Chain A
Amino acid sequence: MTVAVRVIPCLDVDGGRVVKGVNFRGLRDAGDPVELAARYDQQGADELTFLDITASSGGRDTMYDVLRRAAEQVFIPLTAGGGVRSVSDVDRLLRAGADKVAVGTAAVARPELLAEAAERFGSQCVVLSVDARRAAPGTQPYPPSGFEVTTHGGRAGTGIDAVGWARRAAADLGAGEILLNSMDADGTASGFDLELIGAVRAAVTVPVIASGGAGALAHFAPAVDAGADAVLAASVFHFGTLRIAQVKDALRAAGHPVRTAC
C-alpha cells in the first residue's frame, strides 16, 4: 500500500470567522471555524488548512485563538497560512497548534524566510504557498514555464517563474511542501490547472497540494494523475456541493489510495 491522497478542506478566516459562505445543516454557528473544522474532521478530512485573510493587523490575533481551540478538538494535522511575515509569526502559529505553516508573499519578498523557518522548526512544517497564473503574452521577462508568481492574493504579478520558484524553495530553501494555487482556475469551479500541477510535479520532489478550480467530483482524480499528492478545496465543501467522502470515493474509483474515515 502507499500513502493516501489527502483531501484537504480550506477555511478562509477573516477576523476569526469563516468567510466565502458556509452552507451546512446542523451547525450551530456556520461562521465558527472551530465548529466547521470539527465537522470536516468527522467527515473524513485528512488535514485542514486555515488561511487568515484578515486585512487589519489587530484582527490577526483571533487566528491564534482559532488554532488553539481547533487543536483542542481536532486530532488531525492543521496548516495555517495567510500574512505570515517572519520566523516569529511561524513560531506563534506552531505554538498555537498549527503543525505546518504556509508562507507566500513574504517568501517572495525575502526567500531566506523559508530557510530560516526550516532551519529552526524543520522542513516538515514549512509550506511554500505559490499563487500562480498564466503569464499574459508580452510579460517581461516572460517566465520560461509560462506561469508567473503572483502576490497579495493574486492582485500583483511578479514576473518570477512559478515553477522555478517552487523548485528553488524546495531544493535550496527547505520548503517541505508546495501549496500550489492556480489563480486562473480559482473560483471558476471548472477544474484544477493540470498543466501547472504537472510542471511543478516534475520540478520538485516534495509533496504538492493542488488548489484552485475544484467544482465537481470528476475534477479530483485528474489532479492526482497530473502529480498532486493532495487536493484542496473550499467552496465545494462549504456550500455542501460535495462531501469529502464523495471525493474519496471518486478518487478510489480512479485507482488512487484514500483513507477511509473511521
Chain B
Amino acid sequence: MTKRVVVLDYGSGNLRSAQRALQRAGADVTVTADPDAAADADGLAVPGVGAFAACMAGLRAVGGDKLIARRLELGRPVLGICVGMQVLFRAGIEHGTPTEGCAAWPGTVQRLDAAVLPHMGWNTVDPAAGSALFAGIPAGTRFYFVHSYALRSADAGGLAAAGALISWASHGERFAAAAERGVLSATQFHPEKSGDVGAALLRNWLEALP
C-alpha cells in the first residue's frame, strides 16, 4: 500500500528535493505545516539545511517541535535529515552559543574537528548492526553529506546508552551519520541527494512504516 508522508514545511530549504526523492521511492507526499496532516501521516520527514538556530526557530514557529514530540509519544515514525537530524538532540552549539533542540535524543551537536569544512561530498557509512534504514545496503556505501556540525562520537555516549542504533562516518573525527531508536530515525547525510543508494534507504524507511 502506498505510504502517506508529510514533509514538514517550516521554511527550510531542500523541501522539494525531499518530496521528489520520497515520491520516487514510492510514497504519496505532501509538503505542509498543517498540524493535522502532519499528525495523521504514516511518516513525517523533517529535512533541514543551514544553521541549527535558524532551523529550530523555523520549527518552533510552525509548532514543529511539538508535532514531533506528539508523534513520538503516539509511536508514529519521524525521519530527520541533515539539520533535521541535528535538531532532534538536546542542543546544538554554533560559534560558542548553545541553542536548545527538540531533545528527543540526548546529546549536543557540535562543530566537527576537521581540516576542511563544510564536510561536503560522498563519504562512506558504517551501518549499525541490525539497522532498518541500511537493510540491504553494504557497509562502506557512500552517501552525500553537506554539514559542519554533527553528533561527534565523543558526545554520543548518551545516545548509545539510550539504546539507539548508531551508524558512523568520519571526517576529521568519527560522528553519527545516522541514528535509529524506535519510531525515530535520522540521517546526517542527504538520502534525497544520494542517488540510487539514497532511494534505497528511503524505501527502507517507507517499508517499515506501519
Contact = CB atoms under 8 A, between A and B. Distances in A.
A140 interface: no
B27 to A, nearest CB: 14
A1 B117 contact: no
A205 interface: yes
A6 B86 CA distance: 25
Nearest to A94: B13
Contacts of B145: 3
Nearest to A258: B122
A72 B196 CA distance: 14
B3 interface: no
Contacts of B144: 76-77
A103 interface: no
A158 to B, nearest CB: 27
Q: Please indicate which of the listed interface residues A1, A95, A177 has the most CB atoms of chain B within 10 Å of its own CB.
A: A1
A6 B121 contact: yes
Interface string A206-246: 11000000000000000000000110000000000000000
Given A3-B145, A71-B16, A229 B120 contact: yes
A182 interface: no
B17 interface: yes
A123 B198 CA distance: 23
Interface string A107-144: 00000000000000111110000000000000000000
A4 B142 contact: yes
B interface: dominant SS: mixed
A50 to B, nearest CB: 15
Nearest to B21: A75
Interface in A169-219: 176-177, 205-207
A41 to B, nearest CB: 7
Given A1-B170, A2-B170, A259 B142 contact: yes
A148 to B, nearest CB: 25
Contacts of A3: 119-123, 145, 171
Contact of A41 (B24, B124, B142, B195): B195
Contacts of B13: 94, 121-122, 125
Contact of B121 (A46, A176, A262): A46
A3 B118 CA distance: 11
A75 B20 CA distance: 9
B194 A122 contact: no
B74 interface: no
B197 A262 contact: yes
Interface of A: 1-6, 41, 46, 71-72, 75-77, 94-95, 97, 99, 121-125, 176-177, 205-207, 229-230, 259-260, 262
9 contacts: A1-B140, A3-B119, A6-B122, A75-B20, A76-B144, A122-B51, A124-B148, A206-B118, A207-B118
